[in-house]
Amino acid sequence: MEKISFEVYATDAVVKPDDYKRLRIEVDGVELSELVEAVDDNAGILKVIGTENIAEWVAEENSIVETLEYFDDVVIADYLRAKGWEIGNDSDN
């Protein structure tokens, strides 16, 4: 289980004991995006979401090209070569 800390402003909150180790907090009036932005541990969020779900979202949003802009070109080229693609520069033509 990942442990996170966050601060949000809500219109209402209900705190319930889940068991002797945890509390369940239900908040109203907070957008999920606000909650995610309030969590400091982005890596923890992404780990819980999972690589497959992230890849599905990127594909569904048609933002593969935009996402690739955040990666090192050499890493992308090495991956494509490992998959059998031949990579060349435009200046090679």
Q: What is the pLDDT of residues 6-64, one digit of tens each?
A: 777 778 878 777 777 777 777 788 777 877 777 777 788 888 889 999 999 999 998 99
pLDDT at 42: 78
Cβ atoms 44, 1 nearer than 8 A? no
Higher pLDDT, 75 or 40: 75
pTM for this entry: 0.56
Q: Is 34 exposed, middle or buried (0-12, 13-18, 19+ CB in 10 A)?
A: middle
Query: Where in the chain are the domains?
Result: 12-85
pLDDT at 71: 94
